[in-house]
Structure 1
Amino acid sequence: MNPVHGGEGSGTALRLQEHTSMTQDGEEGTKSLVTGGEASADVLMTQLCPLRLEEVVTKNALYMMACRSTAQATSEENPSEACGTIRQDVGEKEDKVQPALEMVALNDWKKLKELGKDVSGPGQKTNSFHSQKLMVVKQIVKHIKSLPQDSLDSHSSAVRCQGMQLITDCSKAKPPLEGKEKLDVVIVCVASIFALPSIEALQRQEGHKVNVKDLYNQTVDALEVMLRALLSEKPNPAELQNFLDHLAPWMTSEKAHERARAVITSVCLLQAAAESPQFCMSHKFPRLGLLIGRLALRVGDPEKEIGRQAMEGLYFLYSLMWCQKEPERKMGSVTAVLHQMPQKILGIYKPTRTCENISEIVKRFGQFLSPDQMADLLLTAVESLKEASESTIEASKTILNVILEKYKQKIQMEVVPKIVDRIHSQLRAIHHSHARQVVMMALCLLAHAFLEEVSTALLKCPLPLDRDAAGMWRTLAKTEAICHSHRLLDVLLKELQERPSTSEDRAFIIPLAAASALCEVLSVSMCTQAVTRFYPRLLMALLVQVHYTIGLSLPDSGVSRKELIPACCVVKTVKTLLLKMGCHYEFTAVEKEGGWELLTSSEEHHRGVGLLARAMVHYSCCQLWRILYLLVPFLERGDKQHKLTAMAFFVELLHMPQAKRLPEKYSVLRLLKGLTDPDPVIRALCVKGLITMADWPGKEIKVLVPAMINSLCGVDGRLVVEALADVKKILRGLDVASYVGCITSLLRLLFDDERVSVRSAAISLFGKMVKKVKKTQGLMKEEDVLDSLIPLLLHLQEGNPDLAEKCKNALDECSRVLEWRLPKQVGNGKAWHNHQEDVDEICQYLVKKHQENVQKFLFQSQCYLSSTQPSLRRAAAMFIALAGLLHDPEASVCIFAAQAHDRVLAIYWKLKYGLVEQHKVNSDSAEKHKSPPNPPATEGTSSRLCNALNLWKLAAKH
């Protein structure tokens, strides 16, 4: 008895022993079965005669197969009838098998024999012989492939046996089979046998007609002989690994009989390698980790016999590795001592304690494995978790535990991303909850030693994160929280502080992926303490990252869903962070004001940041003072987006009481420096910040007013009114009228902004300023107020009720400062073109009250004649009559220009000739349509424009 199998025998062990004895018979067994002669394998092709071949194909092999299939069924019952039954069965089977093999065995093989008579030298005959040989092999493979895979009888068994025996002979003829031809042979022959139903199922199909077990065993014998022969062509670890790889899919089958067949055949090949003197161990196994993993997992198979056979295979494999480690040991003469050595080292198979077996296997084989092979072993264990078997899950868990606890130093950092990527891809196919727990356990153990590499690999997962990637991040977060470690947040924060790349590589994705990963980490309740520590830096990094990602899109992403817009993804993380820190009121306030949409707009981003900061200040958000002191160095570095986001947040935090403790170089001087920044938004924000500090004790802000106003020149009007929103703070304690004048001059420029919101804000702010300084006449010059009268009067006629209300309030404040009362017609809200008498009253009042400023009023009105708004041109025409407006493209402007022209003349004659009541002129229809004589034209004037100007001048004199 072979020492490998020990003392106790079993059905499977007996099969393996039969394989061993067949191997010991070697080539002689094959010759007696196939050729029936003494010829060697090398001269087989040249010396076979047609008669002998026919005996091989149609008589000897068939007779042997028939004998084996029928003798057992009849000999016990009636030995005397056995011989006759065999002959009759052979005749029937021969008729069935002959047509199937006739083409291969007789025609093609005869041609091959003729070509093989002289192939000793190179030349065309050798090439032709090899071509014919490949053709024969292909025909054999084709016949085997066509056999049914759901039944087994003497006919199909004979075809398989003879076909594989012929392939075995072909393999002995030079040159050997290689490449695709050999691959097809192995795949087809293995599948043809392994895919058959179990022996019990086959026997039930055939009943007592044939002995299926013997037929199956004979077929397997032929397969193993063929595989040994094919392996002998290149007896090295790489070729052995190649054969074993073709058996691997069957080793993970859900069907126990298929797993058993694959394991038994694998053990047969390993035994052949271990006992072959020609097997060269100078080469290394290319994927030794995979092979160890496959066999170790089968040690934990719920079928004990499969586990026992897998353990036998590991004994042979360990012998091979031991011989490779110690080259002085010779292969071939495998002694009982060499067989007993791996048993002592790896241990005896224990069906009830397979995890101990597997643990010892991994520990002992670990010394032979390279880093790549160790990674292969780990990945093999991970991939096996797709099986739903609890025994397989426990076996995988054992392998992973041993590797990640005992041999993690053998895992190179360069291999970690591959492992993480494979874990992520395998999770999609793992549905068993226990198996998923094992995978996550492996991820955590791996991250414990290689957190940065694991995190970096996870950041390369496709966006948006799928369920598996999100689960991996949450698992890492829980593990870090349990260990009271902050390493994970450190890694994510580092990536969030990077600017996304605009190139086509995945560097663009990394910061965005870090934001998505952080969102998952924040969802873990156990991480609150760590998040609190990182809160200020995380918040500012996310806000800057929002600014970076505005306008960017995911590469090759054809979807337009909001969650796939990079800026929206980062904003989602900002929301999650605020809620994690308990900022519910702040969250609601920003949402109510549309702040989240502002954050994702390139023009409005700073406003969204400011809105968030104001809400946090208003509700005294926790940790806000830490954010303030973080921003002190934060403003000194970074690019445009970085500085702009930081400044927008910083100027709002100046409303905090703690901000008054900032040294002047970090507050006043920093903002003063920002007044010269090339970015107009930065300049406007600095002005806003300086105004906020105007009432701080010890801060001389009033002297900075000219510089602040100069910095706003050319700045967008909306930014100006936002910057000057708290301008009343500047007015406290100011005693120089020029300061106020430069502010009001700037605001007057915005009265005519094309945006209604800017016009309205500027007029409202102007009115508040006038109201603030009305009691101190020295702060505002009268001419500053008078310069605003005509613009305010004309904007009353825009047709916007809100704007008209703000104009009315501003005019009221102006009249109080000037200590005179405007006509009541100014505030009645009536449209001038429908109530021309109101215009008459206002014009008469202005001419009478401020005759010295009539020229100024005239020129101010002229400016509005080129306005883009018809309502303003029409209102201006009510004050002056110009010939050019009689041809205005707007019909109403032409009409009211003509009417205004008549009214100017009417006022002129009234003042010149002392007419008492203007309504008398209006009541006389004849006089109403009759124009008074024009005054004499002055030199150099030839147009009605000059006439109108002269009329205003004459009116002013009177």
Structure 2
Amino acid sequence: MNPRSHRQKPNTVHFQLSTYHDFWNPNLQELRQSEREAYWLILEFIEQEHMSTMEKQNFLKAVEILSGAVRAKGNGNMNDYYPKATLARKIETLILEESTETLDNNVRQQAMLCVVALSQVNPPFYLSEILDLVSAGVSSMFSLPLIMPSLDRKDNASLYLQTTQALDDMLQALVMDNMDPNMLTLEKFLEIILPWLTQSDKVHEQTRALGTISRLLRFICNFSTLLHMEVFSMNGKLMGILGLFCMNSNHEISLGASEALHYLSKILVLQRSVRQKTVTILKNLQKRFRGEWFASMQNVTLFFKKYLTPVERADVIMVTMESLTSNRRDDIYAATKVLEMILKYSIPEIEKVPEIIQYIYFHMNSITETAAQNTIKKILQVLSQSYTDEVILTLFEIEDQSHKGACKPWEILASFPKGCEVIMKHLLQKLVPQQAPQDREPSQRTEISPLIATRAIHELLLESSQQMEVQTFFSSLFIALLLQTSFLMVEGNAEMMQDQRHVTEWVDPVSSTVEALKTLMHRSGYGNFESEIEKLGGWELLVNPERHYDGVTLLARSLVTKNCWHNRPIFSLLMRMLQDRNCANHFTALVFLMELLQCPDVAAIVDDFITHILANWFNCTEPATVKLLLKMTEVFTKHKNLERRLRILQPQVLNCCYSSSSDIVMEAFVVLKHLVEDLTWQNSSSFLIQLTFKLEPFFEEESEDLRLLAFQIYSHLLAKVKRRVLVFPLRHQILNLIVFLALHLQDVNFEVAQICRITLYNTAALLRWSKLRKVFAKEDVFTIMGALLQQETNKALWFLKQCVALFKSTQVPIRQAAVWFAGQILQILDAEEMSEIEEAYAALRHMKGDPDPMVSCLATQTIYVLEAKEKLLLDNPLTSCFCWRRPQRGYF
């Protein structure tokens, strides 16, 4: 068509303007006459507001001719002739001016093809210009009324098809960036087209949108390189929308969605699959092309798992969930089926978990269909098991921000027994964190604090309706919450409060943990048990920093008193924890254990392995722990099964007698006293004999309390000895200690002296010294020593050795008696025995320098007598004029 055919003569103004442009724009001189005329026509109509259909057609034809001329120049630029942006705005205006009620001309078609021509010349369109043109073209075409092919409207239908093809050509041309499609541009196109699909209630508009999307995706499938594919964010949303429309009751819509989904899947395969498998996958896709909705859902499920990123998977779920809140039952049904297909198998990694949870939280009440409700619950359950931290943290953030405790999500989480158990196990790991391997990199996933985990446990327990379900993890939860309380009370809650973003001001870590512990008991059927602890003040003790462990003891004692069924599982859990020497809160565990051991059911399951675990904790450097273990040892005498294992702990108790801590030593002797009182000779003879040899050094302890305990232990021990068992080495040790007993009748501690007299009497009875029993019971130390020496003269050197050991006593009366008795022994020795007294002689010389004058005087006199005896024996070996004599009254 000649662009000037509609008028025979140009007016004068037009002629002058053309001449002006020919002169000032030398580029026009390179154009052919027809191309220049097209240029002049553009100038004439570009500013014209009202144009007839013929004028619009001629203008668009002129733009197309000029675009062809510029493109033919190779490196031509439209702006050298006329601003391309101005032409784009004018074309957009022409499209928007067309009626949306009827299609009776080809202006739309020409305008879109004109855009195609302009897209092929420089400069490129700006993105805003592209989107304006696309928006105009889409709205102009999609909003047309339904046009059905018929004999009387054959030309109209043909024009519609041609115009639709022009729209496709325009979209395909504008999506290109040089030689490859730009996926970011496609994303913008989809944002314009999709509302016509998702928000319209007209079938023909939805069908047009699906067709346009399908053809555009099919076009992109022809390219191996797609620009910015890695940041294209519409894959998930688009797959979700198309999946839903594949199940539409309208066959045309379902078919269009299936085709579009097919081409989207093909793009993903080409871009993301392993090249060796691409051909096979594409063949399988082709088999399902235009298939039934079930085949399309299989594609959705397959691509959801293998070809979508975690963010895209979340988009699929979000888009589908939004349809659950629709007013149309068909939409709800479709969304339910899609989600069922996705949730049928394990869900791979997903992002945007907080957004999904927030949507569920705020829209749960608007979902009324039973199937939809079950599906939304299933989503919450699956996510809470795989992304527990993120789900729980999101729920608390919502509740804390809104200051209202909507319990529906917690009710749902607690309604699935198996799922709830998985969540509880995960939360328990947060309360009792496991040490991560050193070579493992830190996780980038959201992690909740122990405090948040405690609050979550509390919420789940409040919503749990089945007592038996709670009892399955009662033991683990009970121990974890108790140990967490101890940690907060002993170590302080600074670590717990470090993440202030997720802890509101009104949350008290200790109170929150104790409340969770109380709720656990209620939900497990121990309501009366919890009330009794309340009456006894156990909860107050538990949160009292100074008496916290009293509260732990009371709690454990109540379990034992009520013969709680969980005593044995709790005991087993604690023992597994204590196998690790780095166990946190081991002291709380041991305090609890000491009470549990008094439960007959618990005592019955203690074996050597368990006892060895406890024995290893004696190596702990904390005095409080060792003292607690010493007290625990006493419990082993209360049950026959425990008493058989006491042999494993006894060496540890004896080692504590030599601890550098005086408190531990004192506690060890208190325990030994109780052990000796409770043990029988028949079951513990080896230990009691060993203990007899361990006591000797402690008879001379400066601490009166410790010295008294040592003599009390020996006294109790001796009372258990029967004559039939009095054999070596026990008989030897009893004789080896008799001088200590006798001389400590002079002990400054009256109770020690009394214990020694009783023990001397029992010793005489045990050794069958009938004559000495009365002496030991009533006489003073000197009479006793003299009688002992007369009775057992053959043991004189043995007694002398014991006396010399007591020369180092810190008590003056004992040193005096020891030196005196040594002198008496030396007087009765014969010549052969005198050759063995070098050690005693040296000790006596040393005692001459004793700070006590009486001791020094006695030592000096004894040496004089000894020297005189030695001289006499040298002069007359058969003569001995010395005899035993008691010191004169007042000698000391």
When the two structures are superposed, what TM-score results if normalisation uses the length of structure 2?
A: 0.53
Query: Quick one: which of 244, 249, 252 aligns to 1:297?
Result: 244
In the alignment, which residue of structure 2 is the partner of 1:16?
none
What are the equivalent positions in structure 2 for 1:519-538 lying under 5 Å apart? Answer: 519-523=458-462, 525=464, 528-538=467-477
Q: What is residue 526 of structure 2 aligned with on the other side?
A: 583
Deviations along 1:515-574, whole A, 9 cap, x unmatched? Answer: 444444444546544443333233223323444565134555268757644454443432
- Tell me which amino acid in the other structure corresponds to 2:209: T
Q: Which amino acid aligns with 2:632?
A: G
Aligned counterpart, 1:62: 51
For 1:170, the equivalent position in structure 2 comes to 118
Identity of aligned pairs, percent? 19
Task: Name the counterpart of 1:230.
Answer: 174
CA distance in 1, matches of 2:596, 2:674: 17
Task: Tell whether the 8 Å contact from 1:631 to 1:646 is kept in structure 2 after alignment.
Answer: yes
* Aligned 1:518-557 pairs, distance under 5 A: 518-523=457-462, 525=464, 528-548=467-487, 550-551=492-493, 552-557=495-500
| Match in the other structure for 1:790 | none
Q: CA RMSD in A?
A: 6.5
Aligned residue among 555, 560, 566 for 1:617: 560
Measured in 2, the distance between the counterparts of 1:179 and 1:544 equals 61
Matches within 5 A, 1:649-728: 649-661=592-604, 674=617, 677-692=620-635, 707=656, 713=662
After TM superposition, give the deviation of residue 133 of structure 1 in Å: 2.9
C-alpha contact 1:706 1:742 (8 A) present in aligned 2 = no
C-alpha change, 1:532 and 1:438, in structure 2 (3 Å) is: same
Question: Counterpart of 1:271?
Answer: 215
- 1:642–1:191 Cα change, 3 Å: farther
How far off is 1:606 after superposition?
3.4
Matched, 1:403 2:347: no
Distance in 2, Cα, partners of 1:281 & 1:419: 30
**1:230 to partner: Cα distance:** 2.0
- Give matches, 1:595-606, under 5 Å: 595-596=538-539, 599=542, 605-606=548-549
Question: Which one of 603, 610, 627 corresponds to residue 570 of structure 2?
Answer: 627
Aligned match for 1:426, one of 352, 359, 365? 359
Decide which of 329, 344, 359 is 1:390's aligned counterpart.
Answer: 329
Q: Which residue of 2 is the match for residue 453 of structure 1? A: 386
Describe the SS at the equivalent of 1:49.
Answer: helix
Are 2:84 and 1:133 aligned?
yes
Secondary structure of the equivalent of 2:386? helix
Q: Secondary structure at the match of 2:448?
A: helix
Letter in 2 for 1:742: D
8 Å CA contact retained: 1:628, 1:659: yes
Q: Could you tell me how far apart the structure 2 residues matched to 1:44 and 1:598 are?
A: 104
SS of the residue 2:473 aligns to? helix
What's 1:358 paired with?
A: 293
Letter of the aligned partner of 2:122 in structure 1?
K
Distance 1:620 1:447, change over 3 A: same
Distance 1:153 1:578, change over 3 A: same
Post-superposition offset of 1:421: 4.7
On the 8 A contact 2:70/2:121 being kept in 1, the answer is no
Amino acid at match of 1:534: F
What amino acid is the match of 2:591?
A
Partner of 1:206: none
The whole-number CA distance in structure 2 between the counterparts of 1:278 and 1:632 is 63
- Match of 1:250? 195
1:453 Cα deviation from its structure 2 partner = 3.3
Match of 1:647 among 573, 586, 590: 590
Contact 2:70 2:77 in 1 (8 A): no
Structure 2's unaligned 5+ residue stretches are: 7-30, 147-156, 272-284, 437-441, 680-691, 710-744, 754-892
CA distance in 1, matches of 2:603, 2:236: 66
Q: Which amino acid aligns with 1:380?
A: V
Shift of 1:647: 0.9
Query: 2: distance between equivalents of 1:731 and 1:44?
Result: 127
Instruction: Find the counterpart in structure 2 of residue 280 from structure 1.
Output: 223
Per-residue deviation, 1:646:
0.9
- Amino acid across the alignment from 2:253: Q
Q: 1:621 to 1:224 in 2, by over 3 A?
A: same
3-state SS of paired residue (1:346): coil
Per-residue deviation, residues 478-522 of structure 1 (Å, max 9, x unmatched):
44449xx96555544445431599x99767626555444444444
Normalising by structure 1, what TM-score? 0.50
Residue pair 2:78, 2:121 contacting (<8 A) in 1 also: no
Moved more, 428-437 or 539-548: 428-437
Shift of 1:623: 1.6
C-alpha distance in 2 between matches for 1:488 and 1:254: 39
How far did 1:634 drift? 2.9
Amino acid of the structure 1 residue aligned with 2:296: I
| Total equivalences in the alignment | 621
In the alignment, which residue of structure 1 is the partner of 2:728?
Answer: none
Q: In structure 2, the residue corresponding to 1:641 is in which secondary structure?
A: coil
**Is 1:49 the counterpart of 2:12 in the alignment?**
no
Alpha-carbon distance between aligned partners in 1 of 2:661 and 2:97, rounded to the nearest angstrom: 89
Query: Is the contact made by 2:288 and 2:295 (CA closer than 8 Å) also made in structure 1?
Result: no
8 Å Cα contact 1:613/1:653 also seen in 2: yes
Going from structure 1 to structure 2, the CA distance change for 1:640 and 1:381 (only over 3 Å counts) comes to: closer
Q: How does 1:749-898 map to 2 (within 5 A)?
A: 781-782=749-750
